Structure 1
């Protein structure tokens, strides 16, 4: 459901009713969408025969972004040393870093990351955590999905919990952990309660 929600925001899927707006507009109406919203949904969805640099250059050109920005981001995500190598030979963690670089290309105010720490070693996980915090302090809005509650406790300000396609909680990390020993305990208790309630309905 979380991935579907993100796809709805980006206009990749159509809602059965209602609409999803970003800053009051549908994503598909933005002339240069990468300058408005940056997204990482599937790090593996990259042409394996292209180099990391060429992949980013292609995306940049479609949104009027110059090559200097590509160079800056390859350095920022730690891929400058392999920028001319084919993405097909990258590890999942390297592809995650490339996907993050792509999301940041347009310097957008809104960022959407679906499981961004997948495939990353502990150093990479910490790097993502620090990056997300840094971007948030710049005033950006970041929607980040993860099954790792311990990581969310260290990264997020507000938590949205979805279970069986239903929104069951929206609160700050502090509010949830004030009622439960940990964010993970809060998640388990709330999802179990939701499942039990649904099972008990006539």
Structure 2
């Protein structure tokens, strides 16, 4: 599981994450919601050791991410589908990642097949659409067959068939007993995919509940989100900001 305990992160005068505590449990998809600027991306970076907390701690299966000798076997993540070497083929991109964690080439072939990229495995990633890059990023997350998976907006760039595929994948991974943290702005899709919701506003926890609990209090998940985050939406002079 993923455990956040009184997690705080400051960037100068900006308080990005404010005394945040919640738990992401195995065997379910936990939706991660919040307006732009709410602290979701910072929180995911803190979980993955890409940023250091100002105070508090975050543990994955009882340990800090940085303590894992082969982290891809413990945690898989997709944060940015465009974070790829465009001069490499899909196969070589994954093979480079696999070698850093003691993962063999057979697993590379297997995950490419799993995400539907076998036919383009030897093509350069630079020619991929965003949807294809999303599938490649998911393949990278699955490489180490980890028990914990973190996905940030994985349906971006996908067509309706791809979106349904992502939904079914998330549900099947959770059914295997894995811990899934899924961030998305698509409320209708989140309502179909997630079992429970963690909601942030201005770096603080504003809600932690099951989908059933939220939709019992509000007409829909979207209505719950808009009501609970209304005071957390931040706009700059030029309109909505991130």
- Give TM class, smaller chain: over 0.9
TM-score (norm 2): 0.79
Deviation string 1:63-118 (CA, Å, 9 cap, x unpaired) is 11111111111111010000000001100000000000000000000000000001
Point out the structure with the larger strand share: 2
Deviation string 1:101-142 (CA, Å, 9 cap, x unpaired) is 000000000000000001101010000000000000000000
Paired residues, number: 195
Aligned with 1:141 (options 166, 173, 179): 179
Structure 1: which 5+ residue stretches go unaligned?
A: 196-202
Shift of 1:165: 1.3
Shift of 1:149: 1.1
Question: 2:44 is matched with which residue?
Answer: 6
Q: Distance in 2 between matches of 1:142 and 1:54?
A: 27
Question: 1:23 is matched with which residue?
Answer: 61
Question: 1:77 is matched with which residue?
Answer: 115
Question: 2:208 is matched with which residue?
Answer: 170
Deviation string 1:14-40 (CA, Å, 9 cap, x unpaired) is 111111110111101101100000000
DSSP 3-state at the match of 2:58: coil
The ranges of structure 1 where at least 4 consecutive aligned residues each deviate by more than 6 angstroms after the TM superposition are none
Question: 2:198 is matched with which residue?
Answer: 160
Q: Distance in 2 between matches of 1:169 and 1:175?
A: 11
Point out the structure with the larger helix share: 1
Q: Distance in 1 between matches of 2:193 and 2:231?
A: 25
Q: Distance in 2 between matches of 1:88 and 1:186?
A: 40
Question: 1:64 is matched with which residue?
Answer: 102
DSSP 3-state at the match of 1:85: coil
Please give the residue correspondences for 1:101-112 in structure 2 after superposition, counting only pairs within 5 Å. 101-112=139-150
- How well do the aligned residues superpose, as a CA RMSD in angstroms? 0.9
Structure 2: which 5+ residue stretches go unaligned?
A: 1-38, 234-242
Deviation string 1:137-161 (CA, Å, 9 cap, x unpaired) is 0000000001111111000011011
Shift of 1:166: 1.2
Question: 1:131 is matched with which residue?
Answer: 169
DSSP 3-state at the match of 2:154: coil
DSSP 3-state at the match of 1:129: helix
The answer to whether residue 154 in structure 2 is matched with residue 116 in structure 1 is yes
Q: For the Cα contact (< 8 Å) 1:168–1:194, is it kept in 2? A: no
TM-score (norm 1): 0.95
Q: Distance in 2 between matches of 1:41 and 1:26?
A: 19
